[in-house]
């Protein structure tokens, strides 16, 4: 069994499906890549939660006001899948990810809500499920913000070490 098929099997075992590329509104143009490869690192632009068809996942809004902590956690999991889909396009094979280095999570939040790390745990938990403890372990920050594009509840960016 190849490493690629082992990772695909992990996704299957956890009943995880990678989404299609994001479907942006017609008036939105992006002037940056989703993944920027430089040497042995891949820098992953901020991603949000997607449905399997590439549309922006709902519910939208502020965690602690429009969404519960659990819904925020689920949005962070969907964001991890969106990021994996972008990495697969950029790298050709998700097994090229040698290790996850850093994750920066932003939570669109009501001022009275502050358990940001518990929301972003949805992302970290999924990466650990897919890549295992050592490869999936990463340094991380989780902060609250007043708003995010398209009113998404979370946005996450990351850096990974890659194999040639």
> What is the rounded CA–CA span in Å between residue 79 and residue 72?
10
What is residue 2's predicted lDDT score, i.e. its pLDDT?
47
Chosen CATH of 3-20+34-162 out of 3.30.2310.20, 1.10.3080.10, 3.30.1330.40, 3.40.50.970: 3.30.1330.40
Phi, psi of 152 (to 5 degrees): -65, 150
Instruction: Write down the domain spans for the chain.
Output: 3-20+34-162
Give the pLDDT confidence score for residue 5 in this predicted structure.
56
Residue 1 pLDDT exceeds 90: no
Looking at residues 106-119, what average pLDDT do you find? 96
pLDDT at 85: 96
Beta carbons within 10 angstroms of residue 8's beta carbon: 16
User: If you average pLDDT over every residue of the chain, what do you get?
Assistant: 94
């Amino acid at each position: 069994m190849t490493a690629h098929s082992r990772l695909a099997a992990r996704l299957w075992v956890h009943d995880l499906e990678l989404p299609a590329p994001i479907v942006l509104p017609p008036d939105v143009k992006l002037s940056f890549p989703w993944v920027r490869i430089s040497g042995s690192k891949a820098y992953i632009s901020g991603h949000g939660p997607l449905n399997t068809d590439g549309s922006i996942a709902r519910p939208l809004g502020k965690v602690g006001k429009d969404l519960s902590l659990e819904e925020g956690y689920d949005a962070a999991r969907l964001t991890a899948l969106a990021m994996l889909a972008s990495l697969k396009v950029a790298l050709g094979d998700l097994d090229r990810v040698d290790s996850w280095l850093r994750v920066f999570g932003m939570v669109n939040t009501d001022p009275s809500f502050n358990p940001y790390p518990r929301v972003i745990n949805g992302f970290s938990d999924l990466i650990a499920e897919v890549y295992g403890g050592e490869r999936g372990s990463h340094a991380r920050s989780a902060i609250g913000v007043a708003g995010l594009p398209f009113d998404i509840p979370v946005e996450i960016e990351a850096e990974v070490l890659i194999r040639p």
